[in-house]
Structure 1
Amino acid sequence: MIAAVLTGVALGTGMLLVVAWWEARRLTLARRLAPALAAPGEARAGTRTMTPLSSVERLLAPALRDGVRALERWGSSTVEIESRLRRAGRAGTAEQFRASQVVSGAVGLAAGLVASVLLGAARGSSPLVLLILTLACCAAGILVRDHSLSRAVRAREARLLAELPAAAELLALSVSAGEGALGALDRVSRVSEGPLSEEVRRALGRTRAGMPLAESVRTLGDSTEVEALRRFADAVATSVDRGTPLADVLRAQADDVRAAGRTALMEEGGRREILMMIPVIFLILPVTVLFAAFPGIVALNLDL
Structure 2
Amino acid sequence: MATLEVGEVTVQTGAWVSHSFSMPFAEVPVVVLAPSAQVDEPAAIRIKDVTKTGFQAVVAKPTGSSVAGASMTVSFVAVVPGVRQLPGSGLWLEAGRVSTAKLAASTKCRPSGGLSTSWQKVDFQNQFAEQPAFLTTIQTVNNEVGLPSANSEPWFTVGVNSVNPADAWVSLEMAETSQHGGSAVNQDEEVGWLAIQQGVHTFQASGQAVQCAAVKSSRSVRGWDNGPATVSFGADMGGSPLVVASQSKRFGGDGGWVRVMGTSSTSVEVVIDEDQNCDNERRHTNEEVSILAFSSGCILQ
Superposition TM-score tier, normalisation by shorter sequence = under 0.3
More strand, by proportion? 2
**Structure number with higher helix proportion:** 1
Q: Which has the larger radius of gyration?
A: 1
TM-score, length of structure 2 as denominator length:
0.20
Tell me the TM-score normalized by structure 1. Answer: 0.20
